Structure 1
Amino acid sequence: MECKVIRTDKAPGAIGPYSQGIAVSPWLFVSGQLGMKPETGDLAGQDIASQARQALSNLQQILLAAGCDLNHVVSVDVFLTDMGKFTEFNEIYQEYFSEHRPARAVVEVSALPKGACVEIKCIASCA
């Protein structure tokens, strides 16, 4: 089993001792993505909409760096600091996953790094 580290400067670098993604054929495991701008490492905004779009874009860029795309995603885990934003998040999520619908879990957490309000990770099958 060979593990390949996936890295792109089109998504924020890891803010801890982990990789943006790890590929173990045929699987790609993408680490949790906050709504941080890759250029600055700052949150895209303080609202769920800007952070969710940026987090999904970051996720998408890591998938692309591994030779995959959103259609390869089989499972998504979402962490929200306010479940009251669930409906708003779903509307944004559907912009990225409109027809392809991976398995998904959404849970509320008490806090996320950098004061973010959303974090998203996924598993993709890229064979």
Structure 2
Amino acid sequence: MTTPQHPTPQQSPAKTALTPPTHTTPPAKFSHGVRKGNILQVAGQVGFLPATPGQAPTPAGPTLREQTLQTFANVEAILKEGGASWEDAVMIRVYLTDTAHFAEMNEIYNEFFKDLAGPPAARTTVYVGLPAGLLIEIDALAVLG
């Protein structure tokens, strides 16, 4: 009589925290991005310029356009750090501080993503309070190949 063989559970892929060199260490116990297997979650990013050691984070500028483009660059840096691109994004959440910015943000958003090869990610836009001077925050969820 043979003993039945039970399949051994596959070990879950490791969870990896992502902090590109352009980013400061998060101010609390969270990661700028996390990849586990083929899933990559980018935490909410704002329009801070690339990190300069010993200096406080600085917004890209006072305008929605400046902050939005820098925020996209910050999200993209984490996507790249995790081996992904905007083509892999399946969900993008945009957080605005002012409902009056919605139309302008959509123009900037459409311009930024005009060259996507595949279908655009799903998107949600919500209105929130952010620290003084910040107008937009964006997070993204990507699924790799």
Same fold (TM over 0.5): yes
8 Å CA contact retained: 1:37, 1:54: yes
- Give the length in aligned residue pairs: 126
Write out per-residue CA displacement over residues 69-125 of structure 1, whole angstroms, 9 at most, x where no aligned residue.
11100000110000111111111112332234100000111x113531100001001
Question: What is the identity percentage for the equivalent residue pairs of Structure 1 and Structure 2?
Answer: 32
Equivalent residues of 1:13, 1:38 under 8 A apart: no
1:21 to 7, 24, 33: 33
Gap regions ≥5 residues in structure 2: 1-11
TM superposition score normalised by structure 2: 0.80
TM-score, normalised by the number of residues in structure 1: 0.91
The Cα of 1:12 is off from its aligned counterpart by 4.5
Mapping 1:19-98, distance limit 5 Å: 19-40=31-52, 41-98=57-114
In structure 1, runs of 5+ residues without a counterpart are none
Report what 1:108 is aligned to.
Answer: 127
Query: Aligned partners of 1:21 and 1:28: how far apart in 2?
Result: 7
Question: Which of the pair has more CA radius of gyration?
Answer: 2
Bigger helix fraction: 1
